[in-house]
Every structure is written in structure tokens, then in C-alpha cells.
Amino acid sequence: MNLPELDLNGMISFLTELLETPSPTGFTEQAIQLCEEQLAQLPGIVLERTRKGALVATLPGETEGPWRALTAHVDTLGAMVKDIKYNGRLKLTKLGGFAWNTVEGEGVSVFNRFGDILRGSLLITQASAHIHGQDVSKSERSDDNMEVRLDARTKSDLDTLDLGIEVGDFVAFDPRVEKTEGFIRSRHLDDKACVACVIYAAKAIAAAGKKPKVNTVLHISNYEEVGHGAAAGIPPQVSELVAVDMAAVGDGQTSDEFHATLCVKDSGGPYHHGLSQRLRALAEEYRIPYKVDIYPFYGSDGGAFWRAGGDVAVALIGPGVDASHNYERTHTEALIATADWCLAYLLN
């Protein structure tokens, strides 16, 4: 049996729109809404939101069967305003795990509670080489040494307060999406690339006039980057869960930007061997290019559900992403492989 044809152009277009939609953890409503609009087009789908804002979409299957679920997360790395400094600039607190040097010099958007979006840049406090000389390269990139320079006439904390900015406002880093030679380069491919793969796999099944083998839940979580995304929201009927999240590319890893990867162990320990083996068999049956890998500094929504007491088999697949939690890059070949793997799992 051949897999239904994937709408690659549609998937890349949706991914681009999703990447350009700010959604740091805790500020994900607009991105969740985009996903909901895509999934609402599917026949027979039931859409719900959890109390903490995740999207739960239930697809009717050919049979009731033991239910399955796929989960991917739409929240990204970001920040919040921690302090408004005497000079009008902003001190931040991180959302998610990243190093300050990976976002130094990036453009940012600050969202105040009145709905205004104010632009700025993230800089080290000693940014000018003409003023600080070698101290610019030697200075530690830390919470205390990084600040947002707002694109506004502000020289004091009172000036900044007058702009409507307050402690607790969300800050998003510019994604800077670029597509070239089959590559997609952007911040936040973790995990918006996988959200696009999951949604467009479901859309391909519907376009082919098919249904998943059994009732299947698509869970789009919104707190993964802080560790508890899918801890709630997976229905009790679900017996197995496939987390779809990026594969980390780097020294000592088998993953690359042109394959999907099956992660068999991360910082939380091994995934379910039986389900992982089934996914390997499906990849080989449908000639889906894949790797197998282990990530020592990595966690997923599958692990979050297990830690919350979820009694299900959990496995993890996803496209290879270079420079994870930095300025990331993947290739359309890895996205196609991941979406096809989701398709094979849904249909078998």
C-alpha cells in the first residue's frame, strides 16, 4: 500500500506562517488558533481545548480499537520582562533552556497587556566595541548582562512604563525564516516543524478519503519547553503515544538534516521498546529514510506524560534539526520523512 500524497507546498506554507507567529511558552493562543483552523477542515474531527490551552483534536478511525495519540508542541523559547532598568532598557528572564549568546543581537517583540507590540534588540550591556574594547568579547553572557534596547525614545524606567511595558510582559525572538536549496532556516523549528508534519499527515489522509486505523488524538501542547506540556490532555482511552519532536544534530549523533529520527533514549531514560520497534518496521516497509539516536540533554512531551502517571507506550520521532535551541535549520527531506512516518503510523 502506498502512502497518501503529502501536500508539501501547503505544509511548508503553513510552517512558515506558524514560525512567523510568536508563541513563547505561556503566550501561545494565536499559534494554537492557527492549528485549530487547519484541523477544523477535517471531516468528523472533534476539537477541544484543555484548561491550560492545549489543543486536543480527535480523529475518528476505521475502528474504535485501542486509541492512539500523536503529540507535538507549538510553544517556543522566549522570555518575559523581569525588570525595567534605570536607563529604560529591559532585563529579561528566560522561558525554556537556552544560552544568551544564541540570541544576542536578535530582534525582539515585546507584548504589553494592552495589545501593543513594541520592537527592540537583545544586546549585552557592554555592546559597543568602541567604548568597551576587548571587554565586549570577554564579558559573560548572563541574566544580569543582557538587556533589550527598545526602539523608542526612552531614557528612564518612567519613560518605558509610559510605553505600557510592565514586568511580566512576554518577549519573542524574531524567527528569521528563510528557505533556500531545500533547507528551512529559522528559530523555533523546535517544534513547529513537527506540528506542521502532524497536521499535514492528517490532512493527507482526509484528502485521500481515508481514516486512521483507530481513533486517534492529535495533541498540540503549549508548555513543552518548560517541562509539562503533555502532562495533561491525553484522553484516558489512549493506549500509546508517539511524541513528534525535533532530532538533535551534532557531533556524536547519528541524526542529520535529511532523515527522520527515532529517539530510543533521552535524559529521562529509554522509550517503549515495542512501540519503537513497530515504528522502525513501518519506516522500513514504506522506505522512509530514518536514523536511530540517543539524546543525553533532551526531554519530550512523551516523558512529561509518563512522569504525570500516563500508563501508555511512548515513542519519539522527528526531523533532524541542526543547531537546536539556536538558529536552527532542517531540510524538506527530513520533514517529508517525518510526515510520511506519521502517515504510516496513523494508517497501520
pLDDT, one tens digit per residue, over 25-41 is 999 999 999 999 999 99
Q: Would the pTM of this model clear 0.95, i.e. be above it? A: yes
State yes or no: 245 annotated in a binding site: yes
User: What was the pLDDT predicted at 213?
Assistant: 98
By the 8 A CB rule, do 171 and 81 touch? Answer: yes
By the 8 A CB rule, do 218 and 70 touch? Answer: yes
State yes or no: 36 annotated in a binding site: no
Cell of 72: 507535538
- Active site residue: 5, 62, 224, 328, which one? 224
CA distances (Å), 27 to each of 11, 78, 110, 143, 272, in order? 23, 10, 11, 21, 32
Angstrom distance (rounded) from CA 194 to CA 242 = 12
Question: Mapping DSSP to helix (H, G, I), strand (E, B) and coil, where does residue 288 land?
Answer: coil
User: What was the pLDDT predicted at 138?
Assistant: 81
User: What residues of the chain score a pLDDT lower than 50?
Assistant: none
Per residue in 117-153, pLDDT (tens digit) is 999 999 999 888 788 887 778 888 999 999 999 999 9
State yes or no: 190 annotated in a binding site: yes
Angstrom distance (rounded) from CA 339 to CA 284 = 15
Count Cα neighbours of 118 within 13 Å in the Cβ-side half-sphere: 25
Which residues of the chain does CATH 3.40.630.10 include? 8-76+188-347
Cell of 162: 509610559
Longest dimension (CA), the chain: 69
User: What was the pLDDT predicted at 244?
Assistant: 98
Q: Which CATH superfamily is domain 8-76+188-347 in?
A: Zn peptidases (3.40.630.10)
Q: Which residues of 224-256 are buried (b: 16+ CB within 10 A; e: fewer)?
A: bbeebbbbbbbeeebebbbbbbbbbbeeebebb
Which residues of the chain does CATH 2.40.30.40 include? 78-173
User: What was the pLDDT predicted at 14?
Assistant: 98
Domain covering 78-173, topology: Elongation Factor Tu (Ef-tu); domain 3 (2.40.30)
The number of residues making up the chain comes to 348
Q: Which residues contact 190 (CB under 8 A, 6 or more apart)?
A: 76, 245, 246, 321, 324, 325, 328
State yes or no: 325 annotated in a binding site: no
Angstrom distance (rounded) from CA 230 to CA 26 = 14
Told to judge if 140 belongs to the known catalytic residues of this protein, a careful annotator would answer no
Q: How far is CA 315 from the centre of its chain?
A: 17
Angstrom distance (rounded) from CA 200 to CA 205 = 9
